[in-house]
Structures are given as structure tokens and as C-alpha cells.
Structure 1
Amino acid sequence: MIGGLDGDADAYTALLGALVPLLRSFFGRRLRGAADDVEDLVQETLMAIHTRRGTYDRTRPFVAWAYAVARYKMIDQFRRNRHMVQIEGLEEILVAEGFEDACAARMDIDRLLGGLSPKQAKAIRDTKVDGLSIAEAAQSAGLSDADVKVSVHRGLKALAARLRGDG
């Protein structure tokens, strides 16, 4: 990568070629039976590495940086393709996996967020619980990114104060 950043086209071409099998293996282990998705993700990741190569810190390990890019591409893919799958014996799986505990935790979250303004509660739920980005949460609420950030910050501050017994 450093050679490519320094203008060595052959080194950069060799790097991209060496990344292909690593990325195929990385995605293949996580997306069993989805060969088309694996290849799409490999290409998307290579493009992302290419377009974001200027953000690579030369003092850090390159492979960790490349896998982080790959992980984010895979998360994007999961968000785009939220598939509904019928699972046999779902009830038994949920009980065995602690689903009842998750339901109790969800009720605790609902109770905690219930003491906040609706805007703050939605911003926290969208970003911290449901995993949306600030931009996605802002778009779904019809707010600016800054407004969502402020709502999350103020809401978390209020929750922390309440949990400490300050409010």
C-alpha cells in the first residue's frame, strides 16, 4: 500500500490482486452460500480501498485497515438486503438464545427512553439501539444531522444524570 501511495503502480496493482483472495475468504466465511454477494462485496471493497486510500495511516497495519473497510461494506450490504427468512423451530431457538432476556432489556430501554422528549428518545433509539447512522436517523426523522447529534448528546446526558440520581 505504501508503495502504491508513493506512486508505484506495479506495487498497487499487486496489492489489489493480493487482496482479492483475502476478501473472498473474509466474505465467504460470513456469507455462506451467497457467492454473488461475496463477489459484489469484494469489488465494492476494492473500490472503497482505492477511493479512500488517502485516509490510510502509514503507521498502522494495512490489513487491519482493509478488513475494517470490508467489514463496513458487509454491514452496508446487510442493511440493504434485510431478508426475511422462515426459520423452523424459531420459538425454541429464541428461548434457548435468551430472547426472553432481550425482551426484558427492550422493555427497560423503552422505560428509560420514556422519560426523554420524543425527539431525543427517537434519536437515541435510531442511532444507539437500531444502529442507524446519524445521516439515516436524520433523514427518517426529517431533521438535520446536527439536530440528531445534539438530541442524542442531550438525551444521553439526561439519562446519565437520571441513572446517577441527579435528575
Structure 2
Amino acid sequence: MATRLLLLADTHVPKRARDLPAEVWDAVEQADVVVHAGDWVDVGLLDELEARSRRLVACYGNNDHGELRERLPDVARVSLEGLSIGVVHETGQSAGREERMAAAYDDLDVLVFGHSHIPWDTTAASGLRLLNPGSPTDRRRQPHCTYMTALAQDGALSEVTLHRLPRP
């Protein structure tokens, strides 16, 4: 059995966008598990994702306060298809990230993170896979807004795909 994942971070709704793009909502409908690495900004999106997704695994980010911090952890963890997956918002500067995160999360196979709005897909020497899906609503210095999809199956992550959204 395979589990379809949708990876999101830094949605900043409604601060940066009024809503998620339609393509992202379509991906929510197709995913078995939606993973969100923080910076929601408003609890309304959390409520809607909880209602529209089959399963949500999420943490809060540095721009999330009040009810978001009450309802979400700083670090979320889940076991899916034999993979230990963690979700955190911030991982610090890019230099040395793999080594720092491998030491901090030595019990994980995959770490999904956000904060920078910069897509990232690397594997630490320890085998920890680090994924940042970018942002579907705020591209900052990137050429496109982005999100990721992946497949978890038999203790492995495959078909990790970075999706670029069309510019509005």
C-alpha cells in the first residue's frame, strides 16, 4: 500500500494570499496525508485543511500565534508506511543544515520544514531526507510559488515532485 503525501509550508493565508491556489486544493483532495510545516498565519486555513483532508500532520511556524500555537505542536511526528517523518518550521541557515538536523532528529527518516520559502531536497550522510516544499502563495526570491508531492511506501519515499505554480 502506498500513501500519497502533499507537502506544504508558508501558506501565509490571508496575509500573502486570500486562499490557496485551486491546484493546491485539488492536490489536497488527492492526498492521503497533507503535511504542513507552519506559517499558516490564520486559524481559518487550519480549520479548512482539517475538514478537507483525509489526514493532516502539521506544526506551527514563527508567524503563528494564539490558537494556532494552542492546537499545533512545534514539531509534529508521524509514522507512515514504515517511515518516521518529522515536521518543523525552522531549521536555521542552509550551511550545515544536513548535519545539524541529522544530529537533532536522529530518529527520523524524513524531515519536512519551511520558513525560507526556498524549495529544498537533500539527504544527510545519516540518510535523513530533508524536504522544504517552498510556498504555494509567497515565492519571495524564487521564480515560482511551489509545493511538493511524494509517495511513502515500504519504508521508502519516492516520486518526490516539486510542483511550480503559474504566476498570477
Q: Is the shorter-chain TM-score for this pair beyond 0.5, marking a shared fold?
A: no
Higher relative contact order (CA 8 A, sep 6+): 2
Structure (1 or 2) with the greater strand fraction: 2
Q: TM-score, normalised by structure 2?
A: 0.20
Structure (1 or 2) with the greater helix fraction: 1
